[in-house]
Amino acid sequence: MAELALEGIEKAFGTTRALDRLDLDVADGELVVLLGPTGAGKTTTLRTVAGLDRPDAGRVLIGGVDVTSEPPAVRDVAFVFQQYSLYPHYTVFENLAFPLRSPLRRQSAAVIRERVETIARMLKIESKLQNRATRLSGGEMQRVALGRALVREPALFLMDEPLSSLDAKLRETLRVELKRIQQELGATILYVTHDQIEAMTLADRIGVLEQGRLLQIAPPREIYGRPANVDVARRLGSPPINLLPPQLLPDLEAPSATHVVGVRPEDLVLNGRGVASAITQVEHLGADTVVALEANEVRLHALVSGESRLETGTTIHFSVAPDAMLFFDADGRRLDGGGERA
Amino acid sequence: MSATAHSVIEPTARERRFAATLIVIYALVTMLPLVWIFMTSLKTPQDSISYPPKVVFGPTLEGYVNLFTTRTRQTPEYMASLPPPETWWDELVRSRNMVIAGPSKFGERFLNSVIIGFGSTFLTIFLGTLAAYAFSRFRVPLKDDLLFFILSTRMMPPVAVAIPIFLMYRQLGLSDTHLGMILLYTAVNLSLAVWLLKGFMDEIPREYEEAAMIDGYTRLQAFRKVVLPQATTGIAATAIFCLIFAWNEYAFALLLTSGTAQTAPPFIPTIIGEGGLDWPAVAAGATLFLLPVLVFTILLRKHLLRGITFGAVRK
C-alpha cells in the first residue's frame, strides 16, 4: 500500500474544464470518498490517477514517485469499474488470474491458483470459478470485479461507483464487506460515488467535488456538521439542509455578514414555541417522520424521531438550538460562530 | 375468415408455409447455374454441346481427367502396341485414341489462387484490424477525412485504374508475381475491411482494454488478449468478404498475370479441347474452384450470420 498525492491537476476536454487545479492527498491505508454531482470530475480524477487520462498540467505521485507520464501498467493501481468490465471470453477463474498472468508479474501457476482461491473464498464466489464471466448475476459480477482488483495487492485501489448498479440490499451487504476488507488489508482506496450513505459509512475522509474543484475534504462528521460552504452543506443530508433567511428567526444572534442560516432537519425543534408554521405534509418513514413546514412562504423540513401525531393543515411553532445553526455569507462561505456542536 | 386469435407479430402457419415456399423457389433459381455447371462437368464433350440439352446422361469423369492432363492423339497402330492401361484414367483417355502426355497447368493455377486469395485475405485482415482499432480508439488527426478518403478508393470500379496499375507494376517488376497480386487485392479490399472492422471495434467497450492495461498489460498486449477474442465474429465476417473478392477476381488477374502467378479464373476459360473449348473440363475446373470458398463459408457460417446481425442482437 502507498499514499497518493495529486498536485495542481488540470484537465480539459475540448472547451469543457473537467479538473481545475485539483490538489488531493490520500494517506497510506486511508479510504477517501469523492462525492459530487454528475460531471463534477470524479471519474476524470480516478482515470488520471490510473493513467487512462493524461492531465494537461500538474503531477500525480503514488508512494512518493512521480508517475504523471507513466503508462497505467506500471503504476500498480487497481481499478473497479462501474460496469464491472469482466472479460467476457474468460471464466471467473481466468478473470481473477488475469492480473497475475501479466508479463510484469509472471506468477507461477501454483501461486496464481492459491491467490485466486483465497480471494474467491473471501468474496464467497468459490463455487462460481469455472463459470463464464457473463453467466453471473449482477452481485456476483461485481464481486468478481472487486476480486480482480484485490487479487494482486496493488499500491492503490480506485473504485468508480462500484456498487451503483446493484439493488439496494446487495449494495448494503457489499458496502459492509468492502469496509471490512479495507480495514483487514489496510488498503489505500480512492472511491467515487454520488450516494451519500456510501460516502458517510465508508469514508475516512470525504472530498466534495464540484465543477472540477475540491470544495472541502474532511472526515464525514465534519463535512456534515461544519461544511465549508452552502454547496457542501447541500450535498449531504436527507432531507436536505434548510436554508433560511435570518429575518425568519427572531432574537437571532448571528455574525453581521450572515446572509443565509442553515439548519439540519433534525435540529428543528417542534416544541410549540418560536416561529409559527403550517404543516403541509407528514411522511412516516418508520423510525423517523419527515414533517414539511411552511413559514412566511419559506418551505422547510423537520426530522422527528419516532411516530408523530402531527397532522397536515395544523399550525405548529418551531425553534432552533443556537449551537446547531450554520451561518453563511452572501458568497455561500460559512462564517465562524455557528456549528459548535460538531 | 379464420376466427382463431393469434399474435400480431407471430406469423401464422399459412404465412410460414408461404415464406418457406418463396425461399425454396429462390434457392432453386440461384442454385440452377451451379447445378448446371456440376452436371456439365460430368458429361462427355458430345453430351455437353448437344441440342436440346441432355438432362439424363451417362456420367463420366472425362472432364476432370482432361482438366488435369494434357493428351496427344495417336495412330491406331501405336495404340495397339502399348501395354494394357494401368489406371482407369489411362483407359478413359485411350478410349478416345489418345495418351496422357503430362499434367496440365490447372494444379499450379489453383495453387496460385490459394496463395494469392488467402495471402491477401490474411494481409488485409492483419492491417485492417490494426487500422480499425486505431481509428476506433485514438484521436487521429483528420480522422473523418482519412476514413472518407479510404472509402473513396472504392467509389470507382477497381478496373478503372487498370492501366496505371499495369504500367506501374511493369516498372516495379510486380507483374505476374504472387506478391504483386497479393498487394493489389489487399489494397482493393482494405478500405472495405477497415470500415467493417471499425464498426465491430466500436461495439467493444473500451473499459475492457483499459482494465487490462491497469492489470499490467501494454496496449498491444491488451489488444491481443482482450479485444481480438471479442472481435473474432467481425473479423471472420470481414475475412469471408475479402476472400470471396480476391478468389473470384478476374479482370486484374487476366491483365497482370500470364504464367507464374496466374490464378484459376483467367485460366479456366482457356482450357481448349479438340475442335474448340472443352466444356466438361471447363465445368470441372469451375466446380473445383467453387469448393474452397464453400468450405470456408460453411466453417465460418455461424460467425458470418452473427456478424451480419451483430448490432441487432448485442444489446
Q: Tens-of-pLDDT digits for all 315 residues of chain B? A: 445 556 677 788 888 999 999 999 999 999 999 999 999 999 988 888 888 888 888 888 988 998 898 888 888 888 888 888 888 888 888 888 888 888 889 999 999 999 999 999 999 999 999 999 999 998 888 989 999 998 888 888 878 888 999 999 999 999 999 999 999 999 999 999 999 999 989 988 888 899 999 998 999 999 999 999 988 888 988 998 899 999 999 999 998 988 889 999 999 988 877 667 889 999 999 999 998 888 888 888 877 776 555 444 333
Neighbours of B26 (CB within 10 A): 10
Model pLDDT, residue A205: 95
* Spatial CB neighbours of B285, under 8 Å, sequence gap ≥ 6: B67, B106, B264, B267, B268, B271
- From B59, B81, B104, the end of a domain falls on B104
Chain A touched by B207 (CB under 8 Å): yes
Question: Which range, of A34-48, A186-200, A299-313, B255-269, averages the lowest pLDDT?
Answer: A299-313
Task: Please check whether residue A83 touches B, CB under 8 A.
Answer: yes
The tens digit of pLDDT for each residue in A110-168 reads 999 999 999 898 888 888 889 888 888 888 888 899 889 988 888 899 999 888 877 88
Q: Is the pLDDT of residue A70 over 80?
A: yes
- Where a domain ends, among B87, B104, B121? B104
Of A89, A102, A148, the CB nearest to B230: A89
Q: What angle do CA A28, A30, A32 make, to 5 degrees?
A: 130
B23 domain residue, yes or no:
no
State the average pLDDT over residues A20-28: 91
Question: Do B171 and B250 fall into the same domain?
Answer: yes
CA distance A125 to chain B (A): 20
Interface test with A, best of B139, B214, B223 (most A CBs within 10 A): B214
Domain span including residue B82: 45-104
Q: Decide if A105 and B218 are in contact by the 8 Å CB cutoff.
A: no
Count: domains in chain B: 2
Query: What pLDDT, on the 0 to 100 scale, is given for residue B176?
Result: 92
Same domain, B113 and B248: yes
Report the gap between the CA of B211 and the closest CA in chain A (Å): 7
- How many Å separate Cα B273 from the centre of its chain? 26
Q: What are phi and psi of A10, to 5 degrees?
A: -125, 140
Spatial distance between the Cα atoms of B69 and B103, rounded to a whole number of angstroms: 4
Residues B283/B288/B290/B293 CA torsion (nearest 10 deg): -170
In a domain, B314, yes or no: no
Q: Are residues B150 and B165 in the same domain?
A: yes
pLDDT at position B277, please? 80
Question: How far A72 CA lies from chain B's nearest CA (Å)?
Answer: 5
Residue A284 and residue A292 in contact, taking contact as beta carbons nearer than 8 Å: no
Asked if residue B197 lies in contact with residue B238, where contact means CB atoms within 8 angstroms, the answer is: yes
Q: Is B288 exposed, middle or buried (0-12, 13-18, 19+ CB in 10 A)?
A: middle
Q: How far is A43 from chain B (nearest CA, A)?
A: 13
Entry pTM: 0.78
Q: Does A73 contact B217 at a Cβ distance shorter than 8 Å?
A: yes
Q: Inter-chain contact B207–A105, Cβ cutoff 8 Å?
A: no
Identify whether B173 is part of a domain.
yes
**Taking CB atoms and an 8 Å limit, are A78 and B226 in contact across chains?**
no
Mean pLDDT of chain A: 88
- A148 contacts chain B (CB < 8 A): yes
Residue B263 domain-assigned (yes or no): yes
With contact defined as beta carbons under 8 Å apart, do A129 and A92 qualify? yes
Instruction: Work out the minimum CA distance from A180 to partner chain B, whole angstroms.
Output: 24
**B151 and B54 in one domain?**
no
Cβ distance A193 to A160 under 8 Å? no
Of A51, A75, A79, nearest to B211 by CB-CB distance is A79
Q: Do A50 and B217 touch (CB under 8 A)?
A: no
Q: Is B208 on the interface with A (CB under 8 A)?
A: yes
Q: Are B132 and B95 members of one domain?
A: no
Question: Smallest Cβ distance to A73: which of B207, B218, B230?
Answer: B218
In this predicted model, what pLDDT tens digit does every residue of A257-306 receive, in sequence order?
888 999 999 988 887 778 888 999 999 888 889 999 998 888 999 998 88
Angle of helix B228-248 relative to helix B178-203, nearest 10 degrees, comes to: 140
Instruction: Indicate if B256 and B152 belong to the same structural domain.
Output: yes
Q: Does residue A134 sit at the B interface (CB-CB below 8 Å)?
A: no
Same domain, B232 and B158: yes
A52 — contact with chain B (CB < 8 Å)? yes
State how far residue B217 is from chain A, nearest Cα, in angstroms. 6
Is B205 in CB contact (< 8 Å) with chain A?
Answer: yes
Check CB contact of A306 with chain B, cutoff 8 Å. no
DSSP, collapsed to helix, strand or coil, labels residue A25 as strand
Q: Which residues of B touch A103 (CB under 8 A)?
A: 216-218, 221
Does B77 map to a domain? yes
Which residues on chain A are in Cβ contact (under 8 Å) with B226? Answer: 87
Are B210 and B175 contacting, i.e. CB atoms less than 8 angstroms apart? Answer: no
CB contact at 8 A, A227 and A334: yes
Q: Are residues B64 and B187 in the same domain?
A: no
Query: Looking at beta carbons, which residues of chain B come within 8 Å of A71?
Result: 213, 218-219
Q: Residue A107 carries which DSSP code? A: -
Is the pLDDT at A43 greater than 80, yes or no?
yes
- Can you give the pLDDT at residue A184? 86
- Searching chain B, which residue's CA lies closest to the CA of residue A106? B216
Boundary (domain end) residue, out of B89, B104, B119: B104
- Is B57 part of a structural domain of the chain? yes
Chain B contact present for A78, CB below 8 A? yes
- B231 with B162, same domain: the answer is yes
CB nearest to B207's CB, from A81, A104, A105: A81
Same domain, B99 and B184: no
Supply the pLDDT for residue B34.
92
Instruction: Please name the residue of chain B whose CA is at the shortest distance from the CA of residue A46.
Output: B214
Please, are residues B157 and B92 in contact by the beta-carbon 8 Å criterion? no
Asked if B212 has any chain A CB less than 8 Å from its own CB, the reply is yes
Structural domain contains residue B38: no
What Cα–Cα distance (Å) separates residue B139 from each residue in A133, A177, A264, B133, B135? Answer: 31, 40, 48, 11, 8
CATH code, domain with B244: 1.10.3720.10
Q: A–B: how many Cβ contacts below 8 A?
A: 61
Cβ contact A78–B217 (<8 Å): no
User: Which pLDDT does position B111 carry in this prediction?
Assistant: 94
Is B83 part of a structural domain of the chain?
A: yes
| Interface contact A14, partner B, CB < 8 A | no
For Cα atoms A89, A92, A98, give the angle at the middle one, nearest 5 degrees.
Answer: 75
One domain for residues B92 and B113: no
* Chain A residues with CB-CB distance to B229 below 8 A: 89
Please report residues of B whose CB lies closer than 8 A to that of A73: 213-218
Residues B85 and B117 in one domain: no
Interface residue B137 vs chain A (CB under 8 A): no
Contact A87 B212 (CB under 8 A): yes
